[in-house]
Chains A and B, each alone.
Chain A
Amino acid sequence: MHDAMANDSSVSASARDFAKKRRVNRSAKLKQCKLDARREQWLSQVKGKSCKVTPMASPPTSSSPPVPMPRPQSCLHDSDMVFASHSPTSNSPGKPPKVGCCPNNSVSSGGSTRSCSLSASDGEEEGARGEENSAIDDWETIADALSAYKVNDGCHPSCDTRGPFVESRVPPAPVNDSGTRSTMNPEPTRTIPRAWRPDDEFRPQSLPNLYKQQSFPANMERHFGAKGWSHPAILSAPSSCPICYEDLDPTDSSFLPCSCGFRLCLFCHKRILEADGRCPGCRKQYSPVEGEMLGMSGVKPLLPFQLSRSYSMGSRS
């Protein structure tokens, strides 16, 4: 989990650096592209009866900075993401990116586009609207500040956990070869650092339900408690090994070799693996992976312990 977060943040950071390098090369062509893209996007959204975007149609496309661009991008569904990651290869560098980028996305994910215009880019638009085209750098600075503000502001701890999912949609951008696209794509990075809230109307269903995860250990306890003859005390925190009756040391206590939750000391576990290899608690075979490892060399019982320890930590946190 933490690794993923670190990766994502580094990716987005590199994307930002990349964008800054490219910023110098911005041209009128880029602007034209964006304007075209915005028109395309607007048309497709009107087609899709998007009520949120309609009022935005009246502001002249010529004066608006590339703000609207992030919208369809920022709302990538899984399917969109597949598309986006393919688009760099399919688009020749010189080709205007709008064809691959905006219309398709906004058509295919109309619902999430709307939700994005609600959640992510509204405030940012306020800041950006004041700036003119000449102040693109300033606009980006403001966007940075806004995004940072949003991250620090309204997020519960749960949002932090969900953050990586949003950021993970960015990676297609830095991979891009097209100069025009690469300058545009990093924008979503900053426009949506805010995670989906559970009550967001258009929250993608593919996002994991965090509440379910949080209640996972409790469910496990209930599940194990329902197991007929094994005593709940054994499952939660036995002080001694139920097999040899010796006290469990901290290593043994974190050792959870079977999904049924039956705990025992490492010595007894090794002894059982040498024999029929069935869990004393549920009589099911211990996982074959562990069995094979033991069969290959006698030193291996440590490995199952490591695996199961990481598992138990994961289930507890």
Chain B
Amino acid sequence: MLDVSRVQKELAECNKDKAISGVSINLHRGDDLSHLEGTISGPVGTPYEGGTFRIDVRLPSGYPFEPPKMQFVTKVWHPNISSQNGAICLDILKDQWSPALTLKTALLSLQALLSAPEPDDPQDAVVAQQYLRNHPTFVATAQYWTEAFAKRTSVGIEEKVQKLVEMGFPEALVKSTLDSVNGDENMALEKLCSS
């Protein structure tokens, strides 16, 4: 039911200029076109600058006539994004979706949302309160979260994989485990030990 050809074309289209646009989208795992992962780079001049934010994208069977379901995987401190589960409050992902929009335009909209928070229509009330009443603290917290959660380079991941492999775990398993816990080394070790 999912419009496979459109999704494939969208993937190719979006990744053609990802260096310029700052957004990219890839298959999450395997060849399931209905489960994708997008990344956006933090907009320059915001507390999110320098971070790379990953977004879980699930395409309903009615896509593109129904909006894609998007959720931040990377933790982010933002009035319109849940600090708990990464849920996004954005109209075009709900009632204002149009089939003329694409995954790329949706990701670009998320990037714009990072630049321009809407504290009056919050997803995370705590963050929104802080944004309105104690803005410097908000900026500091957002920067810290960006630093802590959104700036893992691929080199860092390679190092973690290397470390865990040296502990005696098979490389493939280490990679997939790290992936499932968003690169958190300790959680991956826990998981690997418990499995």
B98: which A residues are within 8 A, CB to CB? 278, 280-281, 283
B100 touches A262 (CB 8 A): yes
Among residues of B, the one whose C-beta sits closest to the C-beta of A278 is B98
Using a Cβ–Cβ cut-off of 8 Å, how many residues does chain A contribute to the interface with B?
15
Nearest chain B CB to A177 CB, angstrom units: 62
Contacts of B99 in A (CB 8 A): 243, 268, 272, 280
Residue of B nearest to A275 (CB): B65
- In B1-59, which residues have CB < 8 Å from any A CB? 3, 5-6, 9
Structural contact, A280 and B9, CB atoms closer than 8 A: no
Of B5, B6, B65, the contact of A271 (CB 8 Å cutoff): B65
Known contacts A271-B65, A275-B65; A283/B9 CB under 8 A: no
Q: Do residues A244 and B100 form an inter-chain contact, with CB atoms below 8 A?
A: no
A262 neighbours in B (Cβ, 8 Å): 100
Q: Are B64 and A283 in contact (CB under 8 A)?
A: no
Q: A280 near B100 (CB under 8 angstroms)?
A: yes
Which A residues lie within 8 Å of B9 (CB)? 245
Interface membership of B195, Cβ < 8 A? no
Size bin of chain B's contact surface:
10 to 19
- B84 interface contact, C-beta 8 A: no
Of B3, B6, B65, which one neighbours A272 at CB under 8 angstroms?
Answer: B65
Which residues 74-107 of B have a CB within 8 angstroms of A? Answer: 96, 98-100
Main secondary structure of the interface of A (DSSP, over half): loop
- Distance of A278 Cα from B101 Cα, bound (Å): 13
The reply to whether A245 and B5 contact each other, CB–CB distance below 8 Å, is yes
Measured CA separation A317–B3 after assembly (Å): 37
* Residue from the list A242, A271, A275 in contact with B100, Cβ < 8 A: A242
Give the residue of B6, B65, B96 whose beta carbon is less than 8 angstroms from that of A245.
B6
A243 to B63, CA, bound (A): 10
Closest chain-B Cβ to A36's Cβ sits at a distance in Å of 72
Would B96 and A283 count as touching, CB distance under 8 A? yes
Residues of A within 8 A of B96 (CB): 283
Q: How far is the CA of A66 from the CA of B15 in the complex (A)?
A: 83
With CB as the reference atom, state the residue of chain A lying closest to B102: A242
How far, in whole Å, are A308 and B9 apart by their CA atoms in the complex? 30
Q: Which residue of A lies closest to B100 (CB)?
A: A280
Q: CA of A275 to CA of B6 in the docked complex: distance in angstroms? A: 19
Which residues 216-255 of A have a CB within 8 angstroms of B? Answer: 230, 242-246
Smallest CB separation, B132 vs chain A (Å): 29
Complex Cα spacing A262 to B101, Å = 13
Q: Which of B3, B64, B99 has the most CB of A within 10 A?
A: B99
- Top 10 A-B residue pairs of the complex, sorted by shortest distance between their CB atoms: A280-B100, A280-B98, A243-B99, A280-B99, A245-B6, A245-B9, A242-B100, A244-B6, A275-B65, A271-B65
Interface residues of A (CB under 8 A from B): 230, 242-246, 262, 268, 271-272, 275, 278, 280-281, 283
Interface residues of chain B, those whose CB is within 8 Å of chain A, are: 3, 5-6, 9, 64-65, 96, 98-100
7 further contact pairs, Cβ within 8 A, besides A245-B6, A245-B9, A271-B65: A243-B64, A244-B6, A245-B5, A246-B5, A262-B100, A272-B65, A283-B98
Interchain Cβ contacts under 8 Å between A and B, 10 examples: A243-B6, A243-B100, A244-B3, A244-B6, A245-B5, A245-B6, A246-B5, A272-B65, A280-B100, A283-B98
